[in-house]
Amino acid sequence: MTDLGQRAPEPDLEANAEAVESQEIAKAQSLWQIRWALLRRSFRNNWKLFRRNRIGIAGLVIIGFFATLAIAPSIFFATGFWSTSVYDPVTGLEPNPPSQQLEIVQTVTDPNTQIDIRQVLVDGRINGNIGDVIDVTLQPAPPYGKHWLGTDPLGRDILSQLMYGAKAAFGLGILAATVTVLIGTVVGSVAAFYGGKIDAFLMRLADLLIMVPGLAILIVISAVVRFQLWHLAVVIGILSGFGGVAIVLKSQALAVKVKPFVDAARVAGGSNARLIVAHIIPNVMPLSFLYMMFTVTSAIQSEATLSFIGLLNVDMSWGLMIQLANNQGYLLQGGRYWWMVFPAGLAVTFIAMAFFLVGRAMDEVVNPRLRKR
Amino acid sequence: MSRPLLEVDHLVMNYTTEKGDVSAIQDVSFTLNEGESLGLVGESGCGKTSIAMSLLRLVAENARFDSGEIRLDGTDLLSLTDEEMRQRRWNDISMVFQGAMNAWNPVYKVGDQIREAMDLHFHPRLSNAEVEARISKLFELVGLNPAMMNRYPHEFSGGMRQRAIIAMALSCDPKIIIADEPTTALDVIVQDQILQELKKIQADLGMSIIYISHDIAVIAEVTDKIGVMYAGKLVELGSTREVFARPRHPYAFLLLSSTPSVTGPRRKLAPLEGEPPDLLNPPTGCRFHPRCPYATDQCATDEPPMEDAGDGHQVACWNWKEVPELGGLTK
Amino acid sequence: MSQPLLKVENLTKLFPVSKGFLRTPTDFIHAVDGINFEIQPGESLGLVGESGCGKSTTGRMLVKLMEASSGHVLMSDKTHTDDLIDIANIPNDQMKRFRRRVQMIFQDPYESMNPRRTVFETVSEPLTVQNIGSLKEREERVSEMLRLVGLAPPDAFLFRYPHELSGGQRQRVAIARALVLDPSFVVADEPTSMLDVSIRISIMDLMLKLADEFDVSYLYITHDLAVARYMCDRIAVMYLGKIVEIGDTEEILGNPQHPYTKALLSAVPVPDPSFKREEVEILGGITKAINPPSECRFIERCPWAKDVCRTSDHPPLEDKGDGHYVACHLVESALTSA
């Protein structure tokens, strides 16, 4: 029987890391140290699987890029690299906007050297007649040395807004995803475990939440209350957690519930709460994490939509940036004011895509059946 | 009197994996004569299913034949093109897959699914009426009511589905049927009925059958010849009667000594210690030596060749003469 | 030793065959239909039958994973000597104590351990939920159990996950988990049927050895008569929810009386090609016991069925001497006419 104990280590573990951890486990004084070592090992194994997936890595790189953006302003302001009066995304103002020499004409043929007479008449800040060459202050200003992504019509820095929006997007996404996973996991597990009336009640509620169109609900709610970003996160979390995610996790929990290890725990005397917390939830958790990624995607998209419609009470966000460009008539100008539209639009697209890609890659780690051999 | 139909000659097959080569079949040779039934017995992962799949050349993509030949009627199957091999599958060799009874497509009638297999593979093109006649003959042969061919799989019990699978395997009139765990998921009584049926069909049609099973008692019931496999190697080969009466290889001996039976004296059985090896790095020398009570120093270094132990009973073991008679270990 | 450890009286389990939404079901599968048996302390009873005969359902009712539809499971209570307690009437606050005395070993070693918990967590779980011992004591107890089931040295196994163990090792862990509370009765549901042949005997030997050391009785559920013979003192043969024959192992195998037992025995493959056996052909395949008629359950498949079988109810188990009970009209009539 002694040879049983000396079974070769799992070949897919990195041999030396395995050895180090085995020593740690052997030397560990408390159970927590052992748990920590085991957790690290399982994390490393999963990371090895994840690493093989290129789109997942691409997603992580994009997320990393936006995370850097989100952190950057705090550092810039703290180190004095940016002054608040100029670069604050909401209250900042460029005191010396750039200007350009333009000729006033009847019909503009070259927008870089000419300006329409009607625009001059409307704008109270400048005077002149056709044929005059005047100095026009550029606001919104296109990108230049001081403002890498230009400024908005109020003279605020677009890059700073973009960074601030990244922070808002992360906060919103992570909060919404956490709420989703908490609700989805608990509701799904409880419905699956107890079945019967509890299941019927929870699932009808879930059906109801799936049936109502999410955006419509958000619009209605925002009409009633002052809708802030974290409200939105919680509402999205409840909608998607109780709706689709709970149903998917319930079917997973049903599959776990009938496993003999759950019976074994029951025979050992485990209470229902213990069976759910110690046995069912840990086994549906990987799937919840997967849905967490997808929720981030949908939360960011909803935020952009709502801000664009103007129903969200936020200081600054990517949706709000696009809304501003639209409200002031800069959106449909054939790309002339691209710096006001594209950075925010691309940011929404890319971060939503990144979380989705990471989710897809995690799917392969979580569902071994999808793995390529 | 009977001539060799299938010859497997020093076959070596490896699976290429990320972690290295898995040695699934290591230098296996045997012959199957016309009208003969051969049993391959061993634990899961011993290579018996890999051999079956190799005979049909239905191996996984990462499988690699490194040497050896599989000759059917003198033609090396490994040298055929894919298309030539496809022509031979089902017509020359067909297979009852493990768990195939659960592989019926639930939305088509069973008869239609057999007809489809015949359309794809059977050579003499038959008219619809001829196909129908043939299927009902096959159903009778395997003990099913021919009217059942117009029923759906869910209307069949497990045993009936397995009988229909056998009918399908017979549909193209093969020379050899490979039956991979043909009765594993079935209850004892149904298992017995199916085994008896297979035996009868084999005798009636004069075909050859290769049985693959982990259950040594099932093999004992239905085969003329038996090959015992361990960790990718054939360690013992001989007539079923011989091998069961006097197993020569320590693994075969221990396997037989550790199989409970409803007959004979009630006795203490001898457990086989340890676990089968990891085929990524199989043990050096004899692959059984780490678990073998008769192992000597030589076993750890030199691979034992197949030796004749008399009467065509072959064994790959340095110390087969040390292995006691069955029952010598009882009490 | 007249006091049994466990006594099963008229135990019945009906499963409704669902008939649409919100309608009271009228059709029932009689999975277990009024069975009776006793298990003496330290004795192992084998429950043998084909799939769907109700053997697993019986096992699950005995450990209260399932409530009986009717009938009683009576257990002796160590604290109140002589009294048998109906496990259906155990109050909630005493359920945990009942759980200490009755454990189960499951069939599938790959599914009976939570893949996210280590060996230590799995084996110590019964101690944890029963609040036995400190963490240190639990660790010592688990190590001791691992050593007993042949997983030595325990340190090499304590913090492994199930996927790092072989099938045989997992089943050893499952046995350690079942015995860690020192129960007096263990239901073992086909514990070796999914293991490789070469591993089976060592697991069965381990269970026999531990039965002695822990003074535990098994209800050993299996479809394999040969395994039942190796493991059990007595065997009960089940067919469609009824026990048709029960008695000492060698008596049942050497002198089977019920036609079903005979057929089952004759169908078991024997690892001896020179063995010639008596063929007992029975008719048809196994059916489901949905609202079964009152006459003998085996009648449709019985090649010897007589008028008496068709006109009377399912025969009761009757003593044929030496504790060998058979439920068949014909066996009785053979005896009385002789």
The token pair at B278 is: 């990891």
Return the minimum-mean-pLDDT range out of A32-36, A91-95, B23-27, C46-50: A32-36
Which residue does chain C place closest to B272, by CA atoms? C198
Q: Write down the domain spans for chain B.
A: 247-331
Contact residues for A236 (Cβ-Cβ < 8 A; gap 6+): A176, A179, A180, A214, A218, A295, A298, A299, A302
C201 in contact with A at a CB cutoff of 8 Å? no
Going by C-alpha positions, the residue among C90, C86, C84 that lies closest to residue C41 is: C84
pLDDT (average), residues B64-88: 91
pLDDT (average), residues C1-22: 80
Question: Does C126 contact A268 at a Cβ distance shorter than 8 Å?
Answer: yes
pLDDT at B10: 93
Band (pLDDT 50/70/90 cuts) for residue B330 is very low
Report the alpha-carbon distance of residue A10 to residue A25 in Å, rounded: 16
Going by the DSSP 8-state scheme, the letter that residue B89 receives in this structure is: B
pLDDT tens, residue by residue, C158-192: 888 888 898 899 999 999 999 999 999 999 999 99
- Residues C31/C15, Cβ–Cβ less than 8 Å: yes
Pairing of strands C318-319, C325-326: antiparallel
pLDDT (average), residues C7-30: 81
Is residue B329's pLDDT more than 70? no
Report the alpha-carbon distance of residue B137 to residue B141 in Å, rounded: 6
For A114, phi then psi, to 5°, come to -125, 155
Is residue C55's pLDDT more than 90? yes
CA distance C235 to chain B (A): 13
Is residue C23's pLDDT more than 70? no
Which residue does chain B place closest to A2, by CA atoms? B274
* Angle of helix B250-257 versus helix C197-214 axis, rounded to 10: 50
Beta-strand runs (E) in chain B: 4-17, 20-33, 37-41, 63-72, 75-76, 93-96, 176-180, 208-213, 225-230, 233-239, 307-308, 314-315
pLDDT (average), residues C36-41: 93
Contact residues for C209 (Cβ-Cβ < 8 A; gap 6+): none
The torsion of the CA quartet C80, C81, C87, C88, rounded to 10 degrees, works out to -60
Which residue does chain A place closest to C153, by CA atoms? A5
C contacts of B241 (beta carbons < 8 Å): 273-274
pLDDT tens, residue by residue, A197-239: 999 999 999 998 888 887 788 888 877 887 788 888 898 888 8
* CATH match for C6-114+178-337 among 3.40.1010.10, 3.40.50.300, 3.40.50.12780, 1.20.120.80: 3.40.50.300
Chains contacting C (3+ CB pairs below 8 angstroms): A, B
Going by the DSSP 8-state scheme, the letter that residue B80 receives in this structure is: S
HSE, CB side, 13 Å, CA atoms: give it for residue C192. Answer: 23
pLDDT at C28: 86
CA distance A16 to chain C (A): 17
Contact residues for C157 (Cβ-Cβ < 8 A; gap 6+): A5, C119, C146, C151, C165, C169, C173
- Residues A234/A178, Cβ–Cβ less than 8 Å: no
Q: Which amino acid is at B89?
A: R
C contacts of A2 (beta carbons < 8 Å): 152
- Whether omega for the bond prior to residue A89 falls within 30 degrees of 0, making it cis, is no
Question: Does A11 contact B280 at a Cβ distance shorter than 8 Å?
Answer: yes
Interface test with A, best of C129, C169, C172 (most A CBs within 10 A): C129
C contacts of B160 (beta carbons < 8 Å): 285
Question: Does B220 contact C270 at a Cβ distance shorter than 8 Å?
Answer: yes
Interface of A with C (CB under 8 A): 1-2, 4-7, 10, 25-26, 31, 34, 38, 42, 259-261, 263-271, 274, 278-279, 282-283
The token pair at A4 is: 């049983």
pLDDT (average), residues B6-16: 93
Going by C-alpha positions, the residue among A114, A111, A95, A112 that lies closest to residue A103 is: A114
Which residues of chain A register pLDDT less than 70? 1-30, 124-125, 368-373
Report the alpha-carbon distance of residue A39 to residue A25 in Å, rounded: 12
The per-residue pLDDT of chain C, averaged, comes to 87
Question: Does C225 contact B189 at a Cβ distance shorter than 8 Å?
Answer: no
Percentage of chain C lying above the pLDDT 90 cut: 50
Chains contacting A (3+ CB pairs below 8 angstroms): B, C
ipTM score? 0.88
CATH 2.40.50.140 fits A158-370, yes or no: no
pLDDT at A8: 39
pLDDT at A7: 39
H/E run at residue A85: helix A84-87
CA distance C188 to chain B (A): 18
The per-residue pLDDT of chain A, averaged, comes to 83
Contact residues for A273 (Cβ-Cβ < 8 A; gap 6+): none
- Whether omega for the bond prior to residue C153 falls within 30 degrees of 0, making it cis, is yes
| Residue A28 CB neighbours (<10 A) | 16
Question: Does C270 contact B269 at a Cβ distance shorter than 8 Å?
Answer: no
Question: Does A267 contact C116 at a Cβ distance shorter than 8 Å?
Answer: no
Strand order in the sheet with B4-17: B20-33, B4-17, B63-72, B75-76
Pairing of strands B37-41, A114-116: unpaired
pLDDT at A146: 83
Count of residues making up chain B? 331
pLDDT tens, residue by residue, B271-317: 888 888 888 889 999 999 999 999 999 999 999 999 998 888 999 99
3-state DSSP call for residue A205? helix
Report the alpha-carbon distance of residue C11 to residue C298 in Å, rounded: 19
